[in-house]
Structure 1
Amino acid sequence: MNSTQITLRHPVGTSAVLSTCGARLVKLHVPDKHGILTNVVLGFSNPDHYEEFQDDLIGATVGRLAGRVENATFIRDGFTYPLTINSPPHHLHGGGEDALDRVNWEVSDQTESEVTFTHMSVNGSNGYPGNLTVTARYSLTSDMSLLIEYFATTDQTTPVNLTHHSYWNLSGANQEDLSGHVLKINALEVLDTHDLIPSGEVSSIEGTDLDYSEPSALSERPWTELDNSFISGEPGVVAELWHPGTGIRLSLTSQQPVLQVYAGKFLSPITNEDGSRVGPGLGLALEPQHVNSAISGRPELQTILLKPGMTYSNIMKFTFSSAR
């Protein structure tokens, strides 16, 4: 794939490298407590690795449907959509070939601190109906944030549930695993699952190992197994991640009802030429989204069917600060 990398900069000191391959975030530099610019996302120094390790989805835009669809069959409002099986017997993160993370997007607009990617997912791609026009916009803002905005329109009714799949590591150059981080998730419920597929039920997590409603040191939890869908409820700050060593704090704002949190236990282990690493436990994915399965009594959690004339949106903001 002949992808292109794009660098964004903002006067507050942040910078980002993005790629047209999967409309993905490759690097994001923010200042630590000493004012030293630090990369806070996992990425590959060799661009070919993004194709070699496609299933890891590092930094990518994910869809048309993020998450798993049981038996590769999406059912909603009387419609049934047989989708591509790429995680037998299920459909995962858009279906492999021609999924949004595996195509080369076009750059439709670019400034010093913002870039907009566009892509047309054609009718029938991985079983999805309709020509879906998708926009992914990345902006560095004056409050030291990375704003990610996804929009989509269609010419036929189709399910849409997009998300972003960076793995966050605030320790500096990804030298440490996540055990030195502190995590807070503004949720008191989680989706029940079987084979990582939502069962249709939810459970309270108060007082359990999954209760991150107060800042919690990951070193004191079984964090390596994190692969859970937290019900985030009201729009606003849904999660915070902090590394005391660098002083870098991340705050995620979202309007989506669910936050998938994944510690990358299935990531392929790679050491980049600069010594930074990718692998299990080295980054935390924070993925705002809906749920592709029907959830008992909770229709507000469920993935919508996008119809002609409607515009889908998923807007998330990763805000950074640092303190001595």
Structure 2
Amino acid sequence: MFVSSLAGCAGLEGEQEASDPTATGAAMQLDKAPFGSTPDGQEAMLYTLSNKNGVSVTVSNYGAIVTSIVTPDKDGEMGDVVLGFDSLGGYTQKQPYIGAAIGRYANRIAGGRFALAGETYTLATNDGANHLHGGDTGFDKKIWHVEELPQQNALKLTYVSIDGEEGYPGNLTTTITYTLTPDNGLKIDYMATTDKATPVNLTNHSYFNLSAGKVKAIYGHVVQLNANRYTPVNEQLIPTGELASVEGTPFDLTEPTPLGEYINQIPGGGYDHNYVLNGGSEGMTLAATVYEPGSGRVLQVYTTQPGIQLYTGNFLDGSLTGRNGEQYTRHYALCLETQHFPDSPNQESFPTTVLQPGETYKESTLYKFSVRQSNE
């Protein structure tokens, strides 16, 4: 986990490997604009990376949030394929982590407690009786230091979480590097170090609607996951500890499947489950492919992480007004959160998430966008 190779993508047969973002010929651009002030008076900014194809990715130093990803459809029409808000206030309000960097620990920790090196640590219980996505003021609510890397068409964001913050041990230094590649990929590189043993599980919580909002639900999005197993959960969405086969269940997405086919058979009204990615070669492997027939857009997700959380926006209830006045209703978008497994600090059989002093946490994810003509 903490020494993951960041070699080129090793995808399914026939898939194109991720190219070097510094390759010659990439027409790169980095723009910067004010984004207002946080409730405590800190300045927020927006940074936009663009490539020669007109694709752009916008990131804020508030929450290391991906606020926008603009890509073409099969007719060349540009559209924003992630949910977002028109102003900073949309992100600082109570909202479900739209576009945000998640840490120290993505997903849930049962009872807001874990034991490490003979000591029990107590965390915020901000999801019923459980801890979710780093607590009351996780990484999604912090101002990050930004280093602009225009030659790489990248941004390097850094945040130092002090010992005891949100109940976690150790001073943890985290960097997240966002790179827009020439072939329309958003590569996210995570790195962290600590001076005391601590659980670490980082992800991005972007919500994707590949129709760019033209279709108000993701039932027609065709999803394929490279995962033969998943981690079943109890009624509080805490893993039972089992690694169950998806075969013969509504969780089987090993073949391209429209989300609407089984979504109403999933307890809780939709997918909100961690999938155990099939093992492969060193480096990033293809974890997920999503195709939206109307637009022709394709999203491929590559990662070094062992799991991916498929979440279908089950808790979006129309109370949030997003970009351009859009009401975000149930199943409006889906998340593909690459991660270690939920509640790993309390599940000895799961891959460890404990980072030790002297180790370096390294994980990478690539969200790659392309188009497919309807006759392909």
Q: Specify the TM-score bucket, using the shorter chain as the normaliser.
A: over 0.9
Q: Are residue 274 (structure 1) and residue 324 (structure 2) matched?
A: yes
Q: CA deviation at 1:84?
A: 2.0
Secondary structure of 1:50's partner? helix
| Aligned residue number for residue 96 of structure 1 | 136
Aligned-residue CA RMSD (Å): 2.0
Evaluate the alpha carbon distance shift between residue 88 and residue 298 of structure 1 in structure 2; reply closer, same or farther with a 3 A threshold.
Answer: closer
Secondary structure of 2:120's partner? strand
State the AA in 1 paired with 2:147. S
Evaluate the alpha carbon distance shift between residue 309 and residue 174 of structure 1 in structure 2; reply closer, same or farther with a 3 A threshold.
Answer: farther
Q: Are residue 245 (structure 1) and residue 290 (structure 2) matched?
A: no
**Alpha carbons 1:174, 1:276 under 8 Å: kept:** no
| Aligned residue number for residue 6 of structure 2 | none
Cα deviation per residue 1:191-244 (whole Å; 9 max; x = unaligned)?
Answer: 121110011112111021110000001222226511111111325111111101
| 224, 235, 255: which one aligns with 1:184 | 224
- Give distance in 1, aligned partners of 2:189 and 2:69: 16
- Give distance in 2, aligned partners of 1:157 and 1:271: 40
Evaluate the alpha carbon distance shift between residue 297 and residue 129 of structure 1 in structure 2; reply closer, same or farther with a 3 A threshold.
Answer: closer
Evaluate the alpha carbon distance shift between residue 203 and residue 105 of structure 1 in structure 2; reply closer, same or farther with a 3 A threshold.
Answer: same
| 143, 150, 159: which one aligns with 1:111 | 150
Secondary structure of 1:5's partner? strand
Q: CA deviation at 1:86?
A: 1.7
State the AA in 2 paired with 1:121. S
Q: CA deviation at 1:105?
A: 0.8
Cα deviation per residue 1:276-303 (whole Å; 9 max; x = unaligned)?
Answer: 443321111101111243599984x434
**Alpha carbons 2:112, 2:130 under 8 Å: kept:** yes
Q: Are residue 227 (structure 1) and residue 272 (structure 2) matched?
A: yes
Secondary structure of 1:65's partner? coil
State the AA in 2 paired with 1:71. G
| Aligned residue number for residue 94 of structure 2 | 53
**Alpha carbons 1:46, 1:272 under 8 Å: kept:** no
| 341, 347, 351: which one aligns with 1:291 | 341
Q: Are residue 62 (structure 1) and residue 108 (structure 2) matched?
A: no
**Alpha carbons 2:199, 2:345 under 8 Å: kept:** no
- Give distance in 2, aligned partners of 1:138 and 1:199: 34
State the AA in 2 paired with 1:283. A
Secondary structure of 1:179's partner? coil
Query: Can you give the 5+ residue segments of structure 2 that lack an aligned partner in the other structure?
Result: 1-37
Q: CA deviation at 1:100?
A: 0.3
| Aligned residue number for residue 356 of structure 2 | 307
The structure where strand makes up a greater share of residues is 1
Secondary structure of 2:254's partner? coil
Evaluate the alpha carbon distance shift between residue 132 and residue 38 of structure 1 in structure 2; reply closer, same or farther with a 3 A threshold.
Answer: same
Equivalent residues in 2 for 1:136-215 (5 A)?
136-173=176-213, 175-194=215-234, 195-215=236-256
Secondary structure of 1:219's partner? helix
- Give distance in 2, aligned partners of 1:35 and 1:78: 58
Q: CA deviation at 1:175?
A: 4.2
Secondary structure of 2:63's partner? coil
Cα deviation per residue 1:150-173 (whole Å; 9 max; x = unaligned)?
Answer: 111111111101111001110123
Secondary structure of 2:47's partner? strand
Q: Are residue 21 (structure 1) and residue 62 (structure 2) matched?
A: yes
Query: Can you give the 5+ residue segments of structure 1 that lack an aligned partner in the other structure?
Result: none
- Give distance in 1, aligned partners of 2:315 and 2:167: 26
Q: Are residue 44 (structure 1) and residue 85 (structure 2) matched?
A: yes
Q: Number of residue pairs matched?
A: 321
- Give distance in 2, aligned partners of 1:166 and 1:296: 27
Evaluate the alpha carbon distance shift between residue 238 and residue 78 of structure 1 in structure 2; reply closer, same or farther with a 3 A threshold.
Answer: farther
Evaluate the alpha carbon distance shift between residue 220 and residue 166 of structure 1 in structure 2; reply closer, same or farther with a 3 A threshold.
Answer: same
- Give distance in 2, aligned partners of 1:40 and 1:62: 20
| Aligned residue number for residue 256 of structure 1 | 305
**Alpha carbons 2:195, 2:356 under 8 Å: kept:** yes
| 81, 88, 91: which one aligns with 2:121 | 81
Evaluate the alpha carbon distance shift between residue 294 and residue 318 of structure 1 in structure 2; reply closer, same or farther with a 3 A threshold.
Answer: closer
| Aligned residue number for residue 134 of structure 1 | 174
Identity value in percent: 37
State the AA in 2 paired with 1:231. V
TM-score (norm 1): 0.93
- Give distance in 2, aligned partners of 1:160 and 1:297: 14
Q: CA deviation at 1:11?
A: 1.3
